[in-house]
Amino acid sequence: MHLRICALLAIVIVGLVGAQASPEAKTVLATNNEGVAVTYGSVLKLMHDTTNGRLHASDIRYNAGGPQYFVVTGHRGVVNSDSYWVVKPVEGSSLEQGDLIPNGSVVRLQHMRTNNWLHSRSFPSPLSRNLEVSSREGQDEDTGDLWRLELVDESEVWMKDRKIRLKHVVTGSFLHSHEMTYVRVLPRQMEVCSVGEESVDNVWLASEGVYLQAGSAATPESVEK
């Protein structure tokens, strides 16, 4: 099953590369191997460091704030294809697919199946009453989709299996998960929210995926907070 998913992702990434990719770009299927850079255009799963849950987009809509916001959870299933996200630069950027992503870069995460954007806003999350995290439907530009990369270790660029935090540009809060789980609608899936303070529960790692590799380094985009 996992090999079939990887094969499908390889086909997807070829379509993503297109004319915008760097000439040197190539793809790397990554499961357990280390030393692989996360680049723009890579399709990956984000694994929560303390729970091992994968950042997961559901088809369940939030009740408040409009019909375009869908619940995001932490899912412990390794082979679930709804945990794949495409790493994108900010709208209008000159960065190309295959470019490296330095510390401090502002990125967007687009859900592979639905094309929704990882999003946060000043609504309370359902379980912990922190800030809500959702996948937002729509292709219009929205600053609520912007996340700043913070590398936890001393790496210069984002690497697979290295600890990171994602800080929401608008609210200043960190992408966060914990052992608090849904019971009825999304049983045993963990809440994903955003919180204002750094903790071990807002550390993530890029894990399974298809990583688009190239030789050029990108410059962090400047986005006003």
Which domains does the chain carry? 2-213 (2.80.10.50)
Angle at the Cα of 102 (from 26 to 104), degrees rounded to 5? Answer: 145
pLDDT, mean of each 10-residue run, the chain (225 residues): 46 43 56 78 97 94 80 88 96 93 97 96 92 93 96 92 97 96 88 97 96 62 38
CA distance 48 to 217: 26
Do the Cβ atoms of 191 and 177 come closer than 8 Å?
A: yes
SS3 178: strand
**CA atoms within 13 A of residue 104's CA, in its CB half-sphere:** 9
End-to-end CA separation in angstroms for the chain: 42
**pLDDT for residue 116:** 97
Question: How do strand 174-181 and strand 85-88 relate by DSSP bridges?
Answer: unpaired
- Using a 10 angstrom Cβ sphere, with 0-12 exposed, 13-18 middle and 19 or more buried, the burial of residue 159 is buried
Retrieve residue 99's tokens: 């470019």
Maximum CA extent, the chain: 48
What is the model's pTM? 0.84
